[in-house]
Structure 1
């Protein structure tokens, strides 16, 4: 599992991190997943790809 740095931009990073750990641990228990998914606050926000200049887009890098 990979959790990106966007978690720090969420409404409550500590609560979201705890929810991710529980969801990963109990991935096969829908009741736990539903419980830890509630009340997490504002979602992790990203950057619209249209706002990233062409040279900085990963698809434009490399060989």
Structure 2
């Protein structure tokens, strides 16, 4: 099992997350680092103009 952190959540970072969530392997995304607020990043993932809407569900958690 690999724990993955994504540094930057632009077009490529969002695509990486989509592909990781679509595969049924044991990888786990544990962190996303970006300057933008988490609410905006969630909106961009859900309403992607290049790859279509994201069908999955997720939760935002603040650790600290």
Q: Same fold (TM over 0.5)?
A: no
- The structure having more radius of gyration, on CA atoms, is 1
**TM-score under structure 1 length normalisation:** 0.29
**TM-score under structure 2 length normalisation:** 0.29
